[in-house]
A and B are shown apart, each in its own frame.
Chain A
C-alpha cells in the first residue's frame, strides 16, 4: 500500500477544504480572490503531476490503479477545472451568494473526477461517480433565484438519482453472481464461466448508469434542459468534465472487468454510437438557445467518442483520448464567450449573437474558432479528432458506422455555421461594444491558441495520446 498513489487527489480535496475555510475569513466583495487561489492551487497540482515523480501501480487491495491512462485523465480534469474556475471568476458577479462555496464545489467535483480515472472496483466506481454527481446537483441549481436554474437542478437530480439506482442495482447483481466487487474478479469470472444471465443483467444496468454520465442515447433526456438552465460555467464543466469522467469509467470497465466479453460490448457500443450521433446532430438543428444547442452538440460528441470505444483497438482508445483533449479546449472556448456575453445580453438566445463581430471582434473570433473546431473543419483541433475516430472505425471495417459519422459531421456544419452566420452577417440589435476583462481576454487567447495549435501541430499530442493508449491496452 502506497499513499503517494493518491497524492494528487488528496491535494485537490485539501485545496477544496482550504477554499471553504478561507471563505469564512473573506469579505463579501473579495470572494473572487478565492477563485484565484483555487486556480493557482490547481495549476500547482498540475505542475506537481509532471515534476512530482508520479508513482504508477495498483494499491488499496485492488480498488485503485494509477497508470498512464489515470494520469492522462487526471491532468485533463485539472486543466479543465482550471479553465472552468477562471470562467467562474468572470461569472461571479451573477451569483448572489455563496461564491466561495461555488469554487469549493467545483474543486470537490474535480476530486471526484480524478478518482474516477483510477477506479478498479465497483464500490470505488460508485463513490467516485456520486461525488461528482452530488456536487453537480448543487452547482446546477446554484442560482437559486432563477427558475431555470432550479428546474434544471430538479431534473438533473431526479434523472441522476434514477441512473444511480440502476447503477447500484447492476452492481448488486454482479456482486451476487461473482462474489466480488473488483473488476479483476469480474474478468476472472467471465473468462471461467462466461456471461451468465445475472451478470449480463448487472452489466447492462451498470452500462446504463454510465450511459447517463456520458449522455449517450437513450439516456440523454436530461441534457438539453440541464445545459440550458445551469449557470454557464457549470454547463461547461458538465460538458467537458462530467463527460470525460464517464469515458474514463467506461474505458476502465470495458478493458478491465468486461474484456472477456469484448465481442458483445463492441456491438452494443457501436449501435449506441450510431444512434447518439444521429440524434444529437439532427435534434440540434432547430435550436434557438446557444446553451441548448451546445447540449445537443455534446450528445453528438458523446457519439463520436463512442465510435473510438467501439473500434476497441489501441488506435481507437488513442483517438478517444486525443478527442477528449481537443474537446476540452474547444468546448471551453465556446463557453468562455457565453460567460463574457452573459453580462451584455439578457438571454442566451442565438438571436442576441447577431452582429457580434461588430460589437466585439475578439469574442466573435473566439466563438468562431470554437464552433468551427466542434464542427470538425480543418485546421482546427476538432477536425483531427474526428479524423482519428473515423479512421479507427474504418480500420475495423465498420463501414456503416463511419458512414453514420460522416452524415453527423455534415449535419453539424449546418447548425454550427448558423451561429457563425448570425455573428458576422446579421445586423446587431444594439451597437454597444462589449467590455471583456483582462483575465478573460487572456484565457480566451490561450484557449483559442490551444485549439489552433492542437489542430495544426498535432504530432506531439497524438503521439502522447497513442502512447498512453498503447500502455493502457498492453
Chain B
C-alpha cells in the first residue's frame, strides 16, 4: 500500500498547471487556449484543497470557492468576446489576429 501524501497532490497539480501553460503557448485556437487557462486555475484549486486538508484549516477551501466563482465570470465574458470575434473575422486562430502592427 502506498500512502497518499501532500506531495502526490502537488505533483498532479504541477502537471495540470504545466499542461495548461503548454496549451496556452502551443495551441493557436483561442477556445483551446482559453480551456488551457481554466486548467491552470484548476491546478491551483487542487493544490489549495490539498494544502487546506494537510494544513488543517479551511482558508484554502474557501478561497477555492472564490476562484471557481471568478473563473465562471471570466468564462462567461471570455466566451462572449471570442464568439463576437468569430462573427466578425470568421476565425479564432490567434495567429491571424494581426490587424494592429507598429
Contact = CB atoms under 8 A, between A and B. Distances in A.
Interface string A164-206: 1100110111011001110000000000000000000000000
Given A168-B44, A175-B48, A157 B60 contact: no
Contact of B88 (A150, A158, A169, A172): A150
A181 B89 CA distance: 43
A134 B73 CA distance: 8
A147 B85 CA distance: 7
Contact of A144 (B40, B63, B84): B84
Most buried by A among B40, B44, B62, B100: B100
Given A137-B78, A158-B34, A172 B100 contact: no
A147 B97 CA distance: 9
Contacts, number: 126
A130 B97 contact: no
A126 B66 contact: yes
Nearest to A173: B47
A368 interface: no
A165 B100 contact: no
Chain B interface, >50% SS class? helix
A169 B81 contact: no
Interface in A242-300: 286-288, 292
Contacts of B59: 123, 175, 179-181
Contacts of B62: 123
A259 to B, nearest CB: 22
Interface string A130-152: 10001001100100110110111
A165 B66 contact: no
Given A123-B63, A162-B24, A154 B41 contact: no
B99 to A, nearest CB: 5
A138 B51 contact: no
Contacts of B99: 147-148, 151, 229
A151 B57 contact: no
A155 interface: yes
19 contacts: A123-B59, A123-B62, A137-B81, A147-B88, A148-B100, A150-B88, A151-B100, A158-B24, A158-B37, A162-B40, A165-B37, A165-B40, A169-B43, A171-B44, A172-B48, A176-B47, A179-B55, A224-B100, A229-B100
Given A164-B74, A165-B41, A228-B100, 10 more contacts: A138-B77, A147-B89, A150-B85, A158-B33, A165-B44, A168-B41, A168-B44, A179-B57, A225-B100, A292-B100
Interface of B: 10, 17, 20, 24, 30, 33-34, 37, 40-41, 43-44, 47-48, 51, 55, 57, 59-60, 62-63, 66-67, 70, 73-74, 77-78, 81-82, 84-85, 88-89, 94, 97, 99-100, 102
